Amino acid sequence: MGDEGHAAFDVYRLPDEHAMLREAVRALADKEVAPHAADVDAQGRFPQEAYDALRAAGFHAPHVPEAYGGEGADALATCLVIEEVARACASSSLVPAVNKLGTMPLLLAGSEELRARYLPPVARGEAMFSYALSEREAGSDTASMRTRARRDGDGWVLDGQKSWITGAGESAYYTVMAVTDPGAGTRGISAFVVEAGDPGVSFGPKERKLGIKGSPTREVLLDGCRIPGDRLVGREGEGLKLALRTLDHTRITIGAQAVGIAQGALDVATRYVKERRQFGRPVADFQGVQFMLADMAMHLEASRQMVYGAAARSERDDPDLPFFGAAAKCLASDTAMRVTTDAVQLLGGAGYTQDFPVERMMRDAKITQIYEGTNQVQRLVMARSLLR
At 10 the pLDDT is 54
Q: Are 255 and 329 in contact (CB under 8 A)?
A: yes
Total-model pTM:
0.96
Domain end residue (candidates: 87, 105, 123): 123
Model confidence at 280, pLDDT cuts 50, 70, 90, reads: very high
- 165-175 pLDDT per residue, tens: 999 999 999 99
Of 181-185, 192-196, 250-254, 296-300, the range with the lowest mean pLDDT is 181-185
Domain end residue (candidates: 237, 264, 293): 237
At 5 the pLDDT is 46
Do 133 and 104 lie in a common domain? Answer: no
Do 282 and 231 lie in a common domain? Answer: no
Model confidence at 143, pLDDT cuts 50, 70, 90, reads: confident
Do 188 and 304 lie in a common domain? Answer: no
* Alpha-carbon span 62 to 198, nearest angstrom: 27
Do 24 and 136 lie in a common domain? Answer: no
Query: What is the average per-residue pLDDT within 356-381?
Result: 98
**Phi and psi for 201 in degrees, rounded to 5?**
-100, 130
> Catalytic: which of 32, 135, 170, 372?
372
SS3 157: strand
* Alpha-carbon span 311 to 27, nearest angstrom: 23
Please give the mean pLDDT across all residues of the chain: 96
Angle between the N-to-C axes of helices 321-347 and 358-367, in degrees from 0 to 180, rounded to the nearest 10: 150
Residue 11 is part of a domain; what is its CATH number? 1.10.540.10
Closest CA to 64 of 78, 54, 48, 80: 78
Do 142 and 117 lie in a common domain? Answer: no
CA distances from 377 to 165, 306, 372, 380 (A): 19, 18, 10, 5
Beta bridge partners of 178: 190
Buried b (16+ CB within 10 A) or exposed e, 104-130: bbbbbbbeeebbebbbbbbbbbebbbb
Residue 362 is part of a domain; what is its CATH number? 1.20.140.10
Active-site residue 372, yes or no? Answer: yes
Closest CA to 313 of 369, 362, 305: 305
Do 58 and 29 lie in a common domain? Answer: yes
Query: What is the average per-residue pLDDT within 113-142?
Result: 96
At 11 the pLDDT is 57
Domain end residue (candidates: 88, 123, 158): 123
**Which helix (H) or strand (E) covers residue 6, if one does?**
helix 3-9
Q: Are 16 and 75 in contact (CB under 8 A)?
A: no
Do 257 and 308 lie in a common domain? Answer: yes
Collect all residues with Cβ–Cβ distance below 8 Å to 388 and sequence separation of at least 6: none
Residue 207 is part of a domain; what is its CATH number? 2.40.110.10
* Alpha-carbon span 25 to 80, nearest angstrom: 8
Closest CA to 171 of 254, 103, 245: 103
Q: Are 121 and 172 in contact (CB under 8 A)?
A: yes
Query: What is the average per-residue pLDDT within 346-361?
Result: 98
Q: Are 92 and 31 in contact (CB under 8 A)?
A: no
Do 227 and 249 lie in a common domain? Answer: no
Do 96 and 162 lie in a common domain? Answer: no
**Which helix (H) or strand (E) covers residue 359, if one does?**
helix 358-367
Do 13 and 79 lie in a common domain? Answer: yes
- 215-241 pLDDT per residue, tens: 999 999 999 999 999 999 999 999 999
* Alpha-carbon span 319 to 378, nearest angstrom: 17
User: How many domains is the chain partitioned into structurally?
Assistant: 3
At 4 the pLDDT is 44
Do 260 and 383 lie in a common domain? Answer: yes
Domain assignment of residue 248, given as a range = 240-387
Do 260 and 328 lie in a common domain? Answer: yes
